Amino acid sequence: MANATPQAAPSKPSLWNDPQKRGILIQVLVLAAIFAFFGFIFYNTLSNYAQRGISTGFGFLNNTAGFGISQTLIPYQESDNYWQVFKVGLLNTLLVAGLGIVTATILGFIVGVARLSKNWLLSTSAAVYIETFRNIPVLLQIVFLYALLLKILPSAKESYSFAEAVFVNKRGFYVPEPIPQAGFDWTIWAFVLAVALVIVLRWIARKVQEKTGQQWPMFWIGVALIIGAPLVTYFMTGRPLEWSLPVLKGFNFQGGIRVIPELVVLWIALSVYTAAFIAEIVRSGIQSVSHGQTEAANALGLRHNQTLKLVVIPQAMRVIIPQLTSQYLNLTKNTSLATAIAYPDLVAVFAGTTLNQSGQAIEIIFMTMMFYLSVSLLISLFMNWYNNKMALVER
Amino acid sequence: MKTTKLLAIASTVVVAVSMMASAHAGGTLDGVKKKGFIQCGINSGVPGFSIANDKGEWSGLDVDFCKAVAAAVFGDTTKVKYTSLTAKERFTALQSGEIDLLSRNTTWTLTRDSNLGISFTGVNYYDGQGFLVNNGVKSAKELDGASVCIQAGTTTELNLSDYFRANNMKYEPITYDKVEETIKGFEEGRCDVLTSDQSQLYALRLQLKEPEKAEVLPEVISKEPLGPSVRQGDEDWFKIVRWTLFAMVEAEELGLTSANIDEKKSSADPSVKRFVGAEEGVGGQGLKLGNEWAYNIVKQVGNYGESFERNVGSGSPLKIERGLNALWSKGGLQYAAPIR
């Protein structure tokens, strides 16, 4: 403390020697350099385009497409514009992704649980399934399945038919199409009502169980109501539904609902492939639940099914969900392999044909990438929300 | 110290990027001469036009054209490297500079010539779109409701839809990426009809296991002038490619073949003298090529007729008639501006 002389006001350091200001300066410079870099690339691209006479901008979306698409979920004609093509391709991608996610999840859970079964045959089959499909590139599986399907299915004239209503051939899977007539609304309302009723009943059943310990056979009540009520209404209103049956006319079947073989192949291949990964995730999730939990459940007298349903799976889900998210994202992105087998997804019809016919490579690839990015982010958001819901609530 | 280092790095990056940009501005001819070969975009496999043998050597009408340009520029047909492209990839490959020349049975249309930043240099095959069907169908008018296999990103895709709409018929397009997949789809029965340029259909039919069970319908539903194209905005390179094609046709008109050109080299015929570069002033200077550019093309590749017969005509399994592709003097459309 002896040298506690009052400090002279510090001389103002130069800009370079003041760490704070220097830091800011450097950051500004780096930021400017980055902006300059990307600005340059952007400008350079534009000027190169102009120099070579390639038109730019999104105006091309209004141009007439002029080509046909084999599967469209919304009305589409050749005289529609590229924007409509974008929507058609986008929906086709979402369709196969959605179908794939549902079946992959169901199949994955079944195989994952089977993998842990005490039955040797069952667990070994599951292991073989997982190791086979997980270790072969999915593109090969798609191409192989497509070639196989075209080989084994009959031609349109020799279709496999079931009751002259369902037909299967190389051109697709045909089922009768229901065409609602006047009065069919009642059946729909009956269905809605039954669902609402089941929700209320479940709530009551839970209250009853909490109070008295008595269980209602809610599953069977639900099934009976949801299927029974619309069915009874349907017959009471005089069956107001007509069926359009597929009929062979000329080269192909007309009428009915048709599922093109490309969709079937892509759907099966992606589901089977992704299910192998999901099965492993499910297994790891179940194994992460400590054995003590199962024993405690046994001690309480819960049956095997109940232990699984009420104790193990809810806890396993906390491990499973985050990993499931990345599998869903993988599956969605893998749908772009559709272009290998003529399934008209976004990449095939938009980033493929449209790009080629219009020449707008950068705009089209940009739009396609933004689509995949948005879908992936939406899936992540939803799964995160679900994960939070399932997460351990700490009290 | 740190700052100066950072600044140095930043400035290096900026300089490097601007150098990258300026390197791009050079002409295609200079670029080609510098690297010592021509990068030529061709089809991945259509017999007669461009197909690889078991040794990986390419041959065909379109491949011959690549070789002819190499002969004109380098006097050496081996100085070509090939990039096999699908229909979807071809324009992007040319636009981006990945290839110097696109010689891949590509139809010359207004949209492509004006919107894509590429220029067509001429027509090396006059084609038209047709249908390959299984025996039994006699006319394209009977195809209502048919499934049609087709290659993605082609003019055929658009013509097909025009034709069916104009005739008030329905169809189901099965759009594959590659030619090989379309023929496979047809063979396996995924579709009733394969549509493409007629020349390709004849070639693809031969690849079927039982070619006699399928036939090409007589109807031609479109004009398909197929020709080589280059990037837009490089006049020098454009002219070399255009005149290579003219030289091949002109050689046929003059009766010059790879076999007799050496013998005729000393001929007194002024048009032959001009052609082989024996007359000063009309040689390759204007094209920035050697005087013997046209001589090299004919000597090493042959004239248009030779290339046609060898690849798709009587000397090949395809046996396509000259038809529209005969010389103008013989009832066809092949006509070259005079070399003088």
Question: Tens of pLDDT along A31-45?
Answer: 999 999 999 998 888
In this predicted structure, what is the pLDDT of residue B340? 83
Residue type, A10: P
Regarding an ipTM greater than 0.85, the answer is no
- In the predicted model, what is the mean pLDDT of residues A192-203? 91
User: Is A49 in contact with B143 (Cβ distance < 8 A)?
Assistant: no
Where do we find the tokens 């046609």?
B308
Q: Which residues of A touch B143 (CB under 8 A)?
A: 251
In this predicted structure, what is the pLDDT of residue B25? 47
In this predicted structure, what is the pLDDT of residue A306? 85
In this predicted structure, what is the pLDDT of residue B3? 47
Closest CA to A267 of A98, A34, A96, A138: A96
Same fold yes or no, B28-126+226-330 and B129-222: yes
By C-alpha distance, the chain B residue nearest A45 is B21
Q: Is B216 left (phi over 0), alpha (psi -120 to 50) or beta?
A: beta
Domain ranges of chain B: 28-126+226-330, 129-222
* DSSP β-ladder status, B38-43 and A177-180: unpaired
In this predicted structure, what is the pLDDT of residue A392? 73
- CA atoms of A338 and A331, how far apart (whole Å): 12
In this predicted structure, what is the pLDDT of residue A143? 93
B89 is written with which tokens? 């990839």
* DSSP β-ladder status, B193-197 and B80-85: unpaired
User: Is A68 in contact with B160 (Cβ distance < 8 A)?
Assistant: yes
- The pLDDT of residue A268 is above 50: yes
Q: What is the CA radius of gyration of chain A?
A: 30
Tell which A residues from 231 to 250 touch B, by Cβ distance under 8 Å: 249-250
In this predicted structure, what is the pLDDT of residue A10? 65
A46 is written with which tokens? 């534009």
Measure CB to CB from residue B176 to each of A51, A79, A342 and give the nearest one: A342
Tell me which CATH homologous superfamily contains domain B129-222: Periplasmic binding protein-like II (3.40.190.10)
- Cβ distance A381 to A338 under 8 Å? no
What CA–CA distances, in Å, run from A352 to A345, A374, B88? 10, 20, 6
Q: Which residues of B touch A155 (CB under 8 A)?
A: 189
Q: How confident is the model at residue A108 (pLDDT cuts 50, 70, 90)?
A: very high
Coil, helix or strand at residue B81: strand
Sorted by sequence, the CB contacts under 8 Å of residue B130 that are 6+ apart come out as B195, B196, B197, B198, B201, B216, B217, B219, B220, B221
- CA atoms of B301 and A337, how far apart (whole Å): 41
In this predicted structure, what is the pLDDT of residue B24? 46
Q: Is A143 on the interface with B (CB under 8 A)?
A: no
In this predicted structure, what is the pLDDT of residue A334? 94
How far does chain B reach from its first CA to its final CA, in angstroms?
A: 67
- CATH fold of B28-126+226-330: D-Maltodextrin-Binding Protein; domain 2 (3.40.190)
Q: Give pLDDT tens digits along chain B (340 positions).
A: 444 454 455 544 444 444 444 344 468 999 999 999 999 999 988 889 999 999 989 999 999 999 999 999 999 999 999 999 988 889 989 988 899 999 999 999 998 898 888 999 999 999 999 999 998 888 888 898 899 999 887 888 889 999 999 999 989 999 998 888 899 999 998 999 999 998 889 888 888 998 889 999 988 999 999 999 999 889 999 999 999 999 999 999 999 999 999 988 888 888 888 898 887 666 678 888 888 899 999 999 999 999 999 999 999 988 888 989 999 999 999 999 998 8
- Cβ distance B230 to B118 under 8 Å? yes
CATH entry, A58-150+260-357+368-395, from 1.10.940.10, 1.10.390.10, 1.10.3720.10, 3.40.50.2300: 1.10.3720.10
In this predicted structure, what is the pLDDT of residue B40? 96
Where do we find the tokens 């000597």?
B299
Q: Which residues of A touch B160 (CB under 8 A)?
A: 67-68
- Cβ distance B176 to A342 under 8 Å? yes
By C-alpha distance, the chain B residue nearest A254 is B145
- In the predicted model, what is the mean pLDDT of residues A174-194? 86
Q: Is B188 on the interface with A (CB under 8 A)?
A: yes
State what percent of residues in chain A have pLDDT above 70: 96
In this predicted structure, what is the pLDDT of residue B26? 64
A334 is written with which tokens? 């893998």
- CA atoms of B216 and B132, how far apart (whole Å): 4
- Cβ distance A357 to B158 under 8 Å? yes
- In the predicted model, what is the mean pLDDT of residues A323-338? 94
- In the predicted model, what is the mean pLDDT of residues A149-160? 88
* DSSP β-ladder status, B193-197 and B146-151: parallel
A321 is written with which tokens? 């969900």
Pinpoint the alpha helices (H) of chain B: 2-24, 28-35, 61-74, 90-95, 110-115, 155-166, 179-188, 198-205, 235-254, 261-264, 270-276, 293-300, 304-311
Pinpoint the alpha helices (H) of chain A: 19-51, 82-115, 120-134, 138-152, 185-212, 218-236, 261-288, 291-299, 304-306, 313-334, 346-348, 355-358, 361-390
Q: Across all residues in chain A, what is the average pLDDT?
A: 88
- Cβ distance A331 to A270 under 8 Å? yes
